Amino acid sequence: MEMRNLGRSGLKVTNICLGTMAFGRWIDEAASARVIDTTLEAGINFFDTADMYGRGMDSGDFSERGQSEEILGRHLGARRQRIVLASKVRHRMGSGPNDEGLSRKHIMDAIEGSLRRLRTDYLDLYQCHAFDPATPLEETMEALTDLVRQGKVRYIGCSNFAAWQIAKAHGISDRRGLARFISVQPQYSLLVRSVEAELVPFCLSEGVGMMVYSPLARGLLTGKYRAGEPLPEASRGAAGERLLHALMTERNFRKVERFRQLCAQWGLSMARAATAWVLASPAVTAAIVGASQPAQVADAVSGAALKLTPEQKQALDDLDVIA
Q: What is the pLDDT of residues 31-58, one digit of tens each?
A: 999 999 999 999 999 999 999 999 999 9
Per-residue pLDDT at 177:
98
pLDDT (tens digit per residue) in 229-242: 566 665 565 455 66
Per-residue pLDDT at 69:
98
Q: Which domains does the chain carry? A: 3-219+274-306 (3.20.20.100)
What contacts 266, CB < 8 A, 6 or more positions away? 273, 312
**pLDDT, mean of residues 2-17:** 98
**pLDDT, mean of residues 135-143:** 98
Catalytic residue IDs: 53
Per-residue pLDDT at 238:
47
> Rounded to two decimals, what is the model's pTM?
0.93
